[in-house]
Copies of this chain bind each other. A is one copy, B any other.
Amino acid sequence: MELAAAKQKFIEAWGKLGSEWGINRTMAQVHALLLVSHEALTTEQIMKDLSISRGNANMTLRDLIGWGLVEKQHKAGERKEYFYADKDTWNIARQVAKERRKRELDPVLKILDELSNVEGDVKDPEFKTFSKSVKDINKLAKNVDKTLDTMLKAEESWFWGSIFKIFK
């Protein structure tokens, strides 16, 4: 397989995976393109490579920067902005976990906490089932949250450190 074809395939696969996990396809593709590019690229080049519009490229790049996955680079003597992606997979995973926790897990946790405190007739099986399900899910979600927190903050701790070495 040619390098160009291989890159293409990678971009497609990454885009598909992203869209299946709630990250928009173009965003994942731009990220993929930057991941496999040795040099930082301009908006112009990204537009051309992925056949997307200027507006789309611009917004997507801003989003990626917002996710902490891409950074701007300025080259001396040039007006244009160049973009490049952090290539460390562990950082990528961390950043994504961090953002999604903040954007999606935290709001749900808040609601679950509220619902955990709903009071009702303990004799009512409908209430009992509701209460138990919500509490169980809340417990699981809280643990996931706590684990992510530990993982994001204290990667260097002896416990997680030794587990992360397996992954890196």
Query: B36 touching A129 by the CB < 8 A rule?
Result: yes
Segment with Cβ contacts to B, from A65-73, A74-82, A137-145: A137-145
Range of interface residues on A (Cβ < 8 Å): 35 or more
Is B20 touching A130 in the complex (CB atoms < 8 A)?
no
Does residue A98 face the partner (Cβ distance < 8 Å to B)? no
Known: A35-B133, A166-B143, A167-B140. A115 touches B10 (CB 8 A): yes
Q: Which listed residue, B9, B37, B112, touches A13 by the CB 8 Å rule?
A: B112
Q: Are B93 and A140 in contact (CB under 8 A)?
A: yes
In the bound complex, residues from chain B placing their C-beta under 8 Å from that of A93 are: 140
A55 lies within 8 A of chain B by Cβ: no
Nearest CB in chain B to that of A93: its residue: B140
With most chain B CB atoms within 10 A of its CB, the pick from A9, A16, A129, A133 is A133
A133 contacts across to B, CB distance below 8 A: 35-36, 87, 89
Provide the residues of chain B in CB contact with A9, threshold 8 Å: 111, 114-115
What's the nearest-Cβ distance from chain B to residue A145, in Å?
Answer: 11
Q: How does the 8 Å CB contact mask read for A3-15 relative to B, with 1 for contact and 0 for none?
A: 1001101100100
In angstroms, Cα B166 to Cα A127, docked, is: 27
Evaluate contact between B167 and A143: CB separation under 8 angstroms.
Answer: yes
A88→B136 CA distance, assembly (Å): 8
**Known pairs A3-B127, A10-B134, A17-B104. 19 more at Cβ < 8 A?**
A3-B120, A3-B124, A10-B111, A10-B130, A13-B108, A17-B108, A20-B103, A21-B22, A22-B22, A35-B133, A35-B137, A36-B129, A36-B134, A37-B126, A37-B129, A38-B126, A87-B136, A89-B136, A90-B140
